[in-house]
Amino acid sequence: MSAYKTKNVKSSYVGIFRRIGAFSYDIILLIAVLFLMTAIVMPVSQGVIDSSNLFFKVYIATVIFLFFGWFWVHGGQTLGMRAWKIRVELDNGQNLGWSQAILRFIIAILTFGVGLLWCLWDPRHRALHDVLARTQVIKVMKNYVPPA
């Protein structure tokens, strides 16, 4: 149940193309964040960053998760999602918590291509990671009031 239903406004679930559009915007911003975060560790690594280094891989994965997780937990929208007027929320319409965000993120990484295609068959257009993490992506209407 979406927060829209409590406001007597019909919610609309988001399909695969709008998701890809929002994700494309987010990737552009994420690349800039990754450049900055890599520049921060350059002095520590003496200017040499080996992509096979386990520390660096964990560091980058953490940065990527924090990028998405922060936005999902604090309002349910990344900047790309805001531009495309969509929001991720729990099935009951509430904001995600950190545990839900990490679960959604890990499942999304593990099922990326196949998981996103799940939108084509799900009646609520949820990706596989949404089904398993009990989340949904909805279109944000002008009169939408997010949960506190």
Residue 48: predicted pLDDT: 66
Banded model confidence at residue 117, pLDDT cuts 50, 70, 90:
very high
| 26 closest CA partner among 70, 74, 66, 83 | 83
Banded model confidence at residue 141, pLDDT cuts 50, 70, 90:
confident
Residue 1: predicted pLDDT: 44
Residue 78: predicted pLDDT: 96
Q: What is the DSSP letter of 44?
A: T
Give all strands (DSSP E) within 67-106, no chain letters.
86-90
pLDDT at 97 exceeding the cut of 70:
yes
* Helix, strand, coil percent values for the chain (each to nearest 5): 55, 5, 35
pLDDT at 72 exceeding the cut of 50:
yes
**Greater model confidence, 3 or 85:** 85
Average pLDDT over residues 68-74: 97
Residue 112: predicted pLDDT: 80
Q: What is the pLDDT of residues 1-45, one digit of tens each?
A: 444 444 434 468 999 999 999 999 999 999 999 999 988 888 877
pLDDT at 59 exceeding the cut of 70:
yes
Pair 148, 95: CB distance under 8 Å: no
Residue 125: predicted pLDDT: 94
pLDDT at 145 exceeding the cut of 80:
no
Residue 11: predicted pLDDT: 60
Residue 50: predicted pLDDT: 72
